[in-house]
Structure 1
């Protein structure tokens, strides 16, 4: 069953920004590969898993929940890379690093929304998200700025 987002209560901060949480899912601390999920509305487009905080939910819990729902993975939630602001959408997203420990064969959105997931080298992940969710490049660049700079040099 597809989640009816019209009935989902959104959480906003005092400035009216929608609060979100997201994860950069990696296989290890080296962060050589990043897990991206397919867009359900735009075939061939990729993004990082994430979504809105539910009322009373902490951002760490929301990040873990969203990753399970959208990507079908479980892992160890690590450091926060910070809060990223999208002024156009009036959203603030706290982004965490998660080391994936388990990949489910089927998960909620793989069944309901035909969501796919795929591992990409970090350089390729930056290119993929730039096509669909350009602000997510900033998340990936914050993950390992020195590696990114070496790659782009």
Structure 2
């Protein structure tokens, strides 16, 4: 993962610790290189960057990657405004919990799962998306968050998932 580590470290350094997240690259007219278009924590892609940082920690065991991952996971803790929590929370808090066992990360997953449960429409059999009861791939990713969280809590705590 040497190339991946170099690219990820370059992106991390470019962000300078700000609570913004890479979304996609773009090249301004006349510019020599591509730069990141950045988003704030409430955007649907914000969980992917901390997820990559956690993956790099997993691959290398280097505590510096863990510290970077924690830095970009923390700002997502209370971001539960919409239906994209599976992408935001599983890849950040889920991978973080898997690698560290940090109880607060599991609680963040539980809170996100509970929020999504409120958006579930039994008549449709899906999570309400954009107020139109659409079933889109984004909302299907939430199933991964629910399933992971369900299997990580004690059996006597699983009633909230039914």
| TM-score normalised by the chain length of structure 2 | 0.30
More helix per residue: 1 or 2? Answer: 2
- Identify the structure with bigger relative contact order (alpha carbons < 8 Å, sequence gap 6+): 1
Identify, as 1 or 2, the structure richer in strand: 1
Q: TM-score, normalised by structure 1?
A: 0.31
